[in-house]
Structure 1
Amino acid sequence: MMKYSSNPPEDLLASLPRQEGILQPYCYQYQGFWHGPVGLKELIHCQNHFLARKNDIFLVTAPKSGTTWLKAVIYALINREACHPQDPHHPLLTQTPHQLVPFLQYVEASCYDSVCNSLDDSGTRIFGSHIPTVSLPESIWMEEGAKIVYMSRDIKDTFVSLFHFANKIDSRPSPISLEKAFDLFCRGSSPSGAVWDQILGYWKESLDKPDKVLFMRYEEMQNEPLVQLRRLALFLGKPFSQEEENSGVPHQIINLCSFNTLSNLEANKKGNILRVLRNDSFFRSGVVGDWKNHLTLEMASKLDQITEEKFSGSGLSMTT
């Protein structure tokens, strides 16, 4: 893996393939995926300095594929003994999921060891990320006890959500049209994209390393949240006891982390994360199949065709 001793110099950026981005004016291709200039610098810094620990949990998604929701769910799940999901002072009621579960590549190297988002003495660190498999810090793959949870989402809904998100943030000098964003997305020029390649990478790792990587689907989490929550808890070594089941703890976690609950909290309505991202920009609809309200039949067909071609022979199906 090609790595650099510090943030990439301008001559490195100049040497990389560059094209227009959906979220930013330009993005650069690094290790086969597209990244904005700031995100790329942070990624390379992370590759060079981050060391995984045995209890670490990494939740990974393509942007706009349920990241905020999954952060909340895993945080509530891991901390349910120290902080009951019905506690009126639960951290998720006053802080955003992104405050409680930071994005790995945006944590300063000097702060890695001080990340503490488990409320017990386990030392578990929970990080979010959009990083493709080939670009994750090597120590994450080498540390046997570290776990990766990947959640995919129907490509059409992912694109629609990304398009709306792009026009809510401050990193674009002007709005981007649906048609322009669609063209860039199809060419793979989306953050940490092409999204198909990212999904396929984690799908294959989940087949090769089922104890290391759990592959989840946004739609299944929506349709059968309790089944998927129990599956997630078992994978993370935190299965629900019979007593917890009888007292309704799984239901309470789902309710605490629901779109309606999180989107109506004051903490998620005001303020910014990473300077250019408003907290309320992370909540739009969360509805499965919302693409039908925004895409033409031709657009939907093209995305389905690319998806079918990309995933052919992998055993993975993503269209809904």
Structure 2
Amino acid sequence: MAQKAKQWISRPRFWAQVWAARRNYRREDVSHEHPLLFVAGLPKSGTSWLESMLASYPGYEAVMPPRAVAYEQAHKGSHDFDLPEETFTQLRGALAVLKLHLPGSPHNVRLLREAEIPYVVLYRDLRDVAVSHYFYVRRTPWHPEYGDYCDLDVEDGLRHFSRTLLPEFADWMRSWRKNRDRERSIEVRYEDLLDDTVREFRKVASHFSLDASSSTIEEIVDEHRFENVSGGRARGEQDSDSFVRKGVSGDWKHHFTPELKNLFKTNAGQALIDFGYEVDHSW
């Protein structure tokens, strides 16, 4: 029921978001070089965090197309979702931040290029993605994968992830690295954003031609620090039931057994090396 309700409200919510974004676009006191900002990233990779910071700029509204919601519910994820041709036409004349988990397929990259939209691709260590994904799905009954994980302990949950989503998530990362438009996009690592949020967010803001002055960047970052969005918990505190959980890098070391390490090396070991998370397979 929860999944159906989420899908049912996605369409009116989307058009309410678009209406607000178009209204803001017409305001005389708001002006941005790029009306639409696009963020691509895997689930549990900091995309919502980055989206929220970008939507802090005057006039911007975060939007979520109902087709993406419906696809995620039907396919237990949207990491292989191709944008409908009309996606960016629907958002014309609107100040919007669009965050999706879709891959860097030739189709998606073409639509972004033709619409002349700048974008950011966000990566995260797939081992930490797996841990965060497991805990998030376990506490989210409306998630399409809840039934797959609700009865699994951490080890079994990570084993299930390694045999199902992990190869696809590794391919997702490779798709953006291979196909993205170098002139219109930049890559950002979640770990770098976590380590020096001001520096990395300034890089993102500059790429989108937004105000990247020290006062603006620091104000936005301060409002969106993990301890502020996680109910007052500091970044490293243990709380597997909080919405954003810990948000730390390297948490996978607390949960991986030798068997899990071997599974991840088999299914994503080269991707971890290619994206700078390991230097070889000896971890």
TM normalised by structure 2 equals 0.65
SS state at 2:275 partner: coil
1:143 CA drift (Å): 2.3
* Aligned position for 2:177: 203
Partners of 2:226 and 2:103 in 1: CA distance: 26
- Alpha-carbon deviations, 1:38-76, whole Å to 9, x = none? 99xx9xxxxxxxxxxx73222111111112211112212
Change (3 A) 1:259 1:316: same
Aligned partner of 1:234 among 201, 206, 219: 206
Asked if residue 259 in structure 1 is aligned to residue 220 in structure 2, the reply is no
Change (3 A) 1:260 1:253: same
Partners of 2:244 and 2:192 in 1: CA distance: 19
Asked if residue 187 in structure 1 is aligned to residue 150 in structure 2, the reply is no
Q: What amino acid sits opposite 2:275 in the alignment? A: L
Partners of 1:135 and 1:282 in 2: CA distance: 34
Asked if residue 102 in structure 1 is aligned to residue 63 in structure 2, the reply is yes
1:129 CA drift (Å): 0.7
Partners of 1:139 and 1:201 in 2: CA distance: 13
Q: What amino acid sits opposite 1:249 in the alignment? A: T
Structure 1 unmatched runs, 5+:
1-23, 25-37, 43-53, 84-90, 92-99, 117-121, 266-279
* Aligned position for 1:223: 195
Q: Which is helix-richer, 1 or 2? A: 2
Question: Are the equivalent residues in 2 in contact too, given 1:57–1:127 (CA < 8 A)?
Answer: yes
Q: What amino acid sits opposite 2:51 in the alignment? A: K
Asked if residue 154 in structure 1 is aligned to residue 125 in structure 2, the reply is yes
Q: Any residues of structure 2 matched to 1:1-320 within 5 Å, and which?
A: 55-76=35-56, 79=57, 82=58, 101-104=62-65, 105-106=68-69, 123-134=94-105, 137=108, 140-170=111-141, 171=143, 172-173=146-147, 174-189=150-165, 194-206=168-180, 209-240=181-212, 244-245=213-214, 248-264=215-231, 282-304=243-265, 306-310=267-271, 315-319=274-278
Question: Are the equivalent residues in 2 in contact too, given 1:57–1:125 (CA < 8 A)?
Answer: yes
Q: What amino acid sits opposite 1:223 in the alignment? A: D
1:311 CA drift (Å): 6.2
Question: Are the equivalent residues in 2 in contact too, given 1:149–1:213 (CA < 8 A)?
Answer: yes
Question: Are the equivalent residues in 1 in contact too, given 2:159–2:260 (CA < 8 A)?
Answer: no
SS state at 1:133 partner: coil
- Alpha-carbon deviations, 1:243-292, whole Å to 9, x = none? x32xx222111111111112228xxxxxxxxxxxxxx8641111111112
- Worse overlay, 229-238 or 177-186: 177-186
Q: What amino acid sits opposite 2:190 in the alignment? A: Y
Partners of 2:109 and 2:129 in 1: CA distance: 28
Q: Percent identity?
A: 20
1:305 CA drift (Å): 5.2
Structure 2 unmatched runs, 5+:
11-33, 71-83, 233-240
Change (3 A) 1:135 1:64: farther
SS state at 1:101 partner: strand
Question: Are the equivalent residues in 1 in contact too, given 2:230–2:242 (CA < 8 A)?
Answer: no
Partners of 2:52 and 2:125 in 1: CA distance: 20
1:237 CA drift (Å): 1.6
Question: Are the equivalent residues in 1 in contact too, given 2:118–2:185 (CA < 8 A)?
Answer: yes
Partners of 1:164 and 1:233 in 2: CA distance: 31
Q: CA RMSD in A?
A: 3.6
1:113 CA drift (Å): 7.2
TM normalised by structure 1 equals 0.58
Question: Are the equivalent residues in 1 in contact too, given 2:39–2:121 (CA < 8 A)?
Answer: yes
